[in-house]
Amino acid sequence: MRHKAIFLDRDGVLNHAIVRNGKPYPPASLDELSIPDDAITALQQLKKYGFLLIGATNQPDVARGTTRRQTVEAINAKLLEWLPLDEINICYHDDKDSCACRKPLPGLLTEAAKRLHIDLSSSFTIGDRWKDIEAGQRAGCKTIWLKQDYLERREPEQPANFIATSLTEAISWIFTLETVVEQQF
């Protein structure tokens, strides 16, 4: 049996990014960790609808030596405790490492798909940055750009399937699509 999944970026989607000078950063500690007000309810709705919920996050600060791996794992453990996620997959590499798991490459998504028998064409990626959207597109998922007020110039090469300003708005669009698909059969 093939499952459908929602791949969610961590910082800026599952939890609030720490924005400095218009650029998003991960929380540096559990004290800085906070989740959007609608995250629990939105994810619970997706879970009831039968989606696997999988975090997919780049954490290059570990390779750069500016964040400890234990900090990333503690934040992920807290998110797994607070939110109805199935798992969080992490790329600890920096760009120069040329790994297949660092977004915008789709490795985090395709490896989860193999392991968990996920149908990527029936799945979605929700991210707040261009790398998330391009990873989802390269994996064959529908994509939702959770638009934040970052001062980044880079946008995905191909537009996301949908642009949302909250998880609730993203989930509403997913349910609209899912209802249309069900009505066709």
Catalytic residue from among 9, 61, 128, 132? 9
11 is catalytic: yes
Burial of 179 (0-12, 13-18, 19+ CB in 10 A): exposed
Paired strand residues for 125: 7, 143
Place of tokens 């149908």: 119
- CB contact at 8 A, 28 and 59: no
Phi, psi angles (nearest 5°) of residue 87: -170, 165
Residue 9 falls in the annotated catalytic set: yes
Q: Which of 146, 108, 106 is nearest to 128 (CA)?
A: 146
The answer to whether 131 and 11 have CB atoms below 8 angstroms apart is no
User: Which amino acids are annotated catalytic?
Assistant: 9, 11
